Structure 1
Amino acid sequence: MEGRAVLLVNLGSPDSPSVTDVRRYLNQFLMDKYVIDLPYLLRRLIVSGFVLPHRPKQSAEAYASIWWPEGSPLKVLTGRLTEQLANKTHAVCVRYAMRYGSPSIEQELVNLASRVDVTEVLVIPLYPHYAMSTVKTCVVELERIVRDQEIRLPVYVHPVFYEDDAYIDALYKVAKPFLQASYDHLLFSYHGVPERHIRKDDPTGTYCLSSADCCQQNSAVHSTCYRAQVFKTTEAFVAKAGIEKNKYSVAFQSRLGKAKWLEPYTSKQLVSLADQGVKKLLVMCPAFVSDCLETLEEIAIQGEEIFKAAGGESLTLIPCLNDHDAWTDVLASWWQKSPAKLSRVKV
């Protein structure tokens, strides 16, 4: 695609594991109305009154436990992915941005739009599944930037890819060496979202979470249903890997606050699996394409402690796609997609 630049967008990370930087990052992240979807004054009260006084110190300690010499694992891995993609395409330019933190989407998009050799931009949100707190907020931010900065060149967004054959194949190639070793059970741990988010993203307002098997039925609602999409990813992966039904399960991690989130919760599932006699546990986190705090600390450190305390022997985290060749090949193939298969950002 002559003149096309690519902008990869990941969630974000603090600039350092210091309490100050973590507090700044959490404030930006949690004040997004698509993350904590409450009226502004109530959201401000919760974030400033209940989260920021104590959470930054706790989170800073967690970040410090997984921080690399080069910096944040999420940003380092996204940077490596960007470099490899640039080497595998003829894109005019390949850059990355973070929805929260730096480099910002606005900074990178404005820079790309100012280049005379760029005629259009393909934005690839690095989220396999649709959710208001990931894909929707990214698209809304792109629309704001295009409008406020008066960007006239076409900006396209790649759709979610939760059951894309190439994505599933890349997941399998990363996991295959771990699946070939001896293990008792494979746990798919997806990032959780509040149940109210699922209902808000339901265009009918009545379908999602209306029955125990709503995600297993065919419905157009699934195009914006995070829960249905993670089940599709799981089904496609286990079919590809040939994993028996009794040897895997699905759970949801990273709860925040007291609202009801998608269940079962990963922390409780780890205990349940150990109680059932699982000794050697594999965990993979397909909602993330890059290893980050939620995988390296929440699963590989906290999760292992929970599992072993409940009687398990070993918990092995299967890495995310990161900068694996199979994944960069997938992204390289997407770079060539026709605009007809993409969504143009509204001007």
Structure 2
Amino acid sequence: MQNNKKRTGWIALISVLTAILLVVVVAIAYYNSKLNLIHYDDGSREIDTSTSYPVDNDELDIGDLPDAPEGEDGTIEILDGDIYSDRNVTNILLLGTDERTDEFSDNARADSIMVLSLNTKDHTMKLVSIERGIGVPIPGRNDDWLTHTFRYGGAALTMQTVRDCFKLDIDRYVRVNFYAFEKAIDTIGGIDIEITQEEADGLNGKVRTNATAEQEVVAGINHLNGHDALAYSRIRYIDSDWKRIERQRKVIQAAIDQVKNADIATLNALADEILPMVQTNLTKAEITSLLLEMPSFISAGAQMEQMTIPTYETCWNSVGVDGRKMIGVDFEANAKILREFFYGENYAEEQTNGS
């Protein structure tokens, strides 16, 4: 009788362990199936500057930037210097390319350029927009806008340019396009955005702009679908590029606020819909590591400190040799601003201690 009880106990234990193992195997298989939807690409390709972008100075809304400082001759100087890093901070270049389909194209521009900085010790998130019209050196051709580096040399050239110009520790990127952006917003059920009267007039087609909404919007809180959220993010002419990229960051924060309370079904649908339209050089292991940190980021509020680079006080009107209007930048000053923003007290203490 005693042996029968022991045998029954062992059978029950083995059955429970088998069931747990089966659940784990299924969960791993499910998780891997989602990761396999992503396009993994190191972002590199041969630099091709044989076709240049035509000069269209009406495209860049830089507002009332001052003239170049005295002694500034338009030459773009990238200063030497060390790249600061912190093992607790991961910087990821976010690229929004301008395709309108679910296919990636080598001819696309990086219409939106941001850096997401994740501090896995303090569980803080910081988001910096980088002005697309910054004048940067392009290998083998004249200086051009930062946004065009993607067309000339892919994500790798854009990352390298940001790293060189701002001495920023960044070697990972995530790329989505306009189509994926629109689908993502629709999948999570839309987002709430507060719109100004001037923005509403633009989206309703009452003043000159480049993007109009499907549904009429009003000044105040509006619930936007994917199409209208994209239109809001792309509004031009009513103010400046600085305000335009602020709108882009507002949409990203609104999407995060919507997703952090989403149910499993919505998250599963979002993964199935969007992951096939994501390109990155993050590895599966790196993605898994960051995902494991997400509950801590969410419990910390999932709110992002935000800013735009260059700051208004550290840039000016500039003109390239081909007559292209560009944003001239004090790269040294902005590199320091970025380091202090991303690394905070750690960086400040090291500077004080002379390390």
TM-score (norm 1): 0.24
Structure number having the greater strand percentage: 2
The structure with more radius of gyration: 2
**What's the TM-score, normalizing by structure 2?**
0.24
